[in-house]
Amino acid sequence: MLYLFHNRNFFLMLITFTLMTSVASAQQAVGAKYGTRDPQTCLSQKEPTKGALTPQQATKYLTCGVESESRGLLYLMQDVKVEIGKGTPYRDLASIHRPGNADTDGLVYQLRGSYKTYQCAPLQQKAPYQEANAGKNCILYSEPKATGSCFRDNFGEWVCKWGFASDRGISGQPPPAK
């Protein structure tokens, strides 16, 4: 019976690992059809478990929150610069500034910085082996004075978001480098 229990646990662990790997790789190899790199994915957004996050962690979580393929377009983030302000207790924030899914006992960290976002369409074929829109298939949005916040949700995961870009975007731009 002990042998079956260990095999069952091993089997469940193997399934969990396989599912986590497939989620992480689901966005892999998608960049090629847009002429760019693959989107960044985050398997976990729980670090750090205590205290404030670093600018590098905030950058990673901001990027993972944006980068994906959706409705036939690829969204990528580039040149992210982040400064993290002192944490404010959730309960001290005005109700309009309280994130809906934040841990009410936690802190909300104000962000400022800059970033670029790319919205890319798939490469189209003009004639056999010729790419009609290669190097001009993206809209580039720049936000030099971005603001946002990071906080832990009720599951202990970090959520980081920028406000909306004020830039209207420039079409016909190349995608970010691979």
Predicted confidence at residue 133, as pLDDT, reads 82
Cβ neighbour number for residue 174 with a 10 Å cutoff = 15
Beta strands 125-127 and 130-131 are antiparallel
Inter-residue contact 93 to 71 (CB < 8 Å)? no
Give me the phi and psi of 149, to 5 degrees please.
Answer: -155, 160
Predicted confidence at residue 23, as pLDDT, reads 41
Alpha helices in the chain, H assignment, sequence order: 2-25, 55-66
How far is the C-alpha of 72 from the C-alpha of 53, rounded, in Å?
Answer: 33
Which range is least confidently modeled, 16-25, 73-82, 162-171?
Answer: 16-25
Q: Which two tokens stand for residue 71?
A: 């409705």
DSSP conformational letter for 177: P
- Burial status of residue 114 (CB atoms within 10 A of its CB: 0-12, 13-18, 19 or more): middle
How far is the C-alpha of 166 from the C-alpha of 163, rounded, in Å?
Answer: 9
Predicted confidence at residue 167, as pLDDT, reads 72
What confidence tens digit (pLDDT) does each residue in 130-156 have? 566 888 999 999 999 999 999 999 899
pTM score of the predicted model: 0.76
Cβ neighbour number for residue 151 with a 10 Å cutoff = 23
